[in-house]
Amino acid sequence: MLAKTDTILRAITQGCGLLAALFVVLIGILVLINIVSRSLGLFVPGMTEGAGYCMAAAGSLGLAYTFGEHGHIRVSMVIGRLRGRARFAIELWALGLAAVLACYLAYYLARMVYVSHLFEDRSDGSDELLIWIPQAPTAFGFVVFALALVHAVVNGLVSGDLGQGAASDPGKSAGH
């Protein structure tokens, strides 16, 4: 069951990585449009706000992908001195705390999107965009990140190995 979940979660986190890259490219395009339009004396509404929304989406969508690729920075001053069960316990505690915090944030971001949709909130910018539209990718990114963390905790508890967390390659270890 966990192996199948690993495969599905890996595909989802890879998709989030691709979406994050797409949003980074979109930031560049929006900034370029803003520069060109200003040099031509034209006003194109929403470019600055759009780039900000894309930045938030790219950052949150990249979290799960980076976690799956073991790209998050680990401070190993404490755990580097520990071995065996003590190290496993500290790492599991830290991963569990991260999972709880990510779930909390994911819940409230998803709730924010729902409330924005319910009340048809619009952006304060000149484009008056329905604000739930740019909020949704950010919330989705944190939901996937929270799922990846929870999966890693469950996988660690079941297998006793934290190196095979969510969406990881079998050849990589937890220290990468």
- Residue 70's pLDDT is 86
Cα–Cα distance, 112 to 116 (Å, whole number): 6
> Residue 47's closest CA among 33, 28, 64?
33
Contact criterion met (CB below 8 Å) for 149 and 104? no
95 is written with which tokens?
């991963």
What pTM value is reported for the model? 0.86
For residue 164, pLDDT over 50 is answered with no
Residue pLDDT, tens place only, 34-74: 999 999 999 888 898 999 999 999 999 999 999 989 888 77
Cα–Cα distance, 60 to 139 (Å, whole number): 8
- Residue 37's pLDDT is 95
- Residue 35's pLDDT is 94
Residue pLDDT, tens place only, 96-124: 999 999 999 999 999 999 999 999 999 88
- Residue 127's pLDDT is 79
Cα–Cα distance, 78 to 37 (Å, whole number): 52
pLDDT > 70 in the chain, percent: 91
Cα–Cα distance, 13 to 32 (Å, whole number): 29
